[in-house]
Amino acid sequence: MKFNIEIDCTAEEARAFLGLPDVGPMQRTLLSAAEARLLEAIKAMDAKSLMDQWLPLSLRNLEQWQGLWAQMAAAAAAVPRKPRGESKD
């Protein structure tokens, strides 16, 4: 035997009927606090502080890139090469 019951009500009515707490005021308080912290963080960020944070990573990557090219050049210099015009036989 199968019963289907359809109830037409709002979320607030369902919470009240099931005895669940109303979390709306708490959600509004938390959302306004998160918004205030986000706005403070955005105001505190400026181009100079971002560049100070990002620049060391850029320099480190640049040094690694230069080291890679230096290693490739050293490896190429160590490989003996045949002079041009020499035959393969």
DSSP letter for each residue of the chain? ----------HHHHHHHHT----HHHHHHHHHHHHHHHHHHHHH--HHHHHHHHHHHHHHHHHHHHHHHHHHHHHHHHS--PPTT----
- Read off the tokens for 59: 């320099």
> pLDDT digits over 20-34, tens only?
998 889 999 999 999
Give percent above pLDDT 70 in the chain. Answer: 75
Specify the range with the lowest mean pLDDT, choosing from 17-21, 51-55, 74-78. 51-55
| CA separation for the pair 82, 85 (Å, rounded) | 9
Name the pLDDT band for 85 (thresholds 50, 70, 90): low
What pLDDT does 2 receive? 93
What pLDDT does 67 receive? 84
The predicted model scores a pTM of: 0.40
